[in-house]
Structure 1
């Protein structure tokens, strides 16, 4: 069902309230907050590649508090096992039955901290739940509930002893972004507030409202010309000389999905080519694999997507019906 203008206006107002609430704990990072919020509403997952102490845990906790949901944090280490994430089945001698003990993955917002420090076997425990929202343990499939979002982090430094995320898992993250260090003004506000205990954020909406917002975002109109623009961008990444493996179809779907949510967050009932351009780098850059020679020359995936955006002409129309 197509979203009405009144619904789009309500969506934008609610989205702004949520971002304002999270912004009380994450100062000076409005764009990152909006990206993470849009991903949550789009039923996607976020990969944060950032330095220690930039507020990754605070962002996940603030998001969960804002939507009155549950949150959990898993510190990924080399000795972490898949059962430590998904949960295990334990035999209860009193009842003579096996009983399932749910792992930390059963939460609305799950922070997978330093995900690249765990073994590929443990990393793979997230593949099913990120794609399907279910966890299968001992042949029994259990849903984790809705909304569900994984915010994974990895440190761009100290790569010794880490395991690079496989491409199949990277492709399941809707966006990859970073919080970064705050500017001087935000840093001063943080320092001035260190004497005050960090307050629990007040819940703005219920988890069910996030599900309703996701349904509204699916009703945003996407002009075939905008879909064609996404298709041409994705195709250009596959033909780029610096790229060994371009963006997958899943990547194109993810970009289209978050573009719809982004349009609704701006109070519009339709998506525009500018929405695509604004979200292309966080939605596509982590999905391409560069040629070794290009990496050696200092080429980055973000630079490749930026060049593709310059080379591929957007449609002349603004995307309205």
Structure 2
């Protein structure tokens, strides 16, 4: 059995103290460039890799951020996770990713397991935190930042797009384009993102004196969203435009309307989404949608986490970032509108 190379072996090979080796492999450690080069060269020759977890037990910092996400089939999340990973690496941290399942039934168990890994912080992406779990994280001194989901009254920091404003923009654009029977397919009823998008959408319609024509629950599921859209189109007075609570559902609805029902978009019915995932810009979809400013949301979430790690007593903040309406070709354009 090959003997595991230790920091003491590296120290002897480089002719330095073991504490010098530790400083070289500790972010922010004080060591001269010449010594660092000598130690790293010896480590390379011997095949030494520092034990980050063991060092975390000594320093009290693992430099690991736990990321909890419900599911990854929505293309918004792989893109956001890639950006989160890159941004945390810039700060010297790494992500440990756990999923809870589409319905989030295992959220408490999963985050409880993350606590066992002694992570330095937790980013919860579109999952709900129970009050008991929030208390446990606070007791363990582990900061939590919610991403793309708010939880009012929880005392947790949250970073989202401005969902109320996004819903208003969607309604105002559809109204300006002359749509008269405007419907909505929502996400999960208990998700803040879904509630706020619907609230902003309905408020803008009400302000214009135009009631919401139909409301279906998509539950952020492609299949469920298609069922809701099919039920709307089976009505004697089907909608002439549908605002869908995210692109993941909107793209599925477009496929169903075109290929199952033989309808034209936007000739028979307009479709407007939310997120602006990469697929939305594909020529086969060309979806008009509200863009979630993912990069700015990630930057805000990482900055918030770093601030909470460095200043545990700092109060939580709720950050909403406005995103633009990206106009493509799935809804009527207002007269005189120019790209």
TM-score (norm 2): 0.26
Q: TM-score, normalised by structure 1?
A: 0.27
Q: Higher Cα Rg: structure 1 or 2?
A: 2
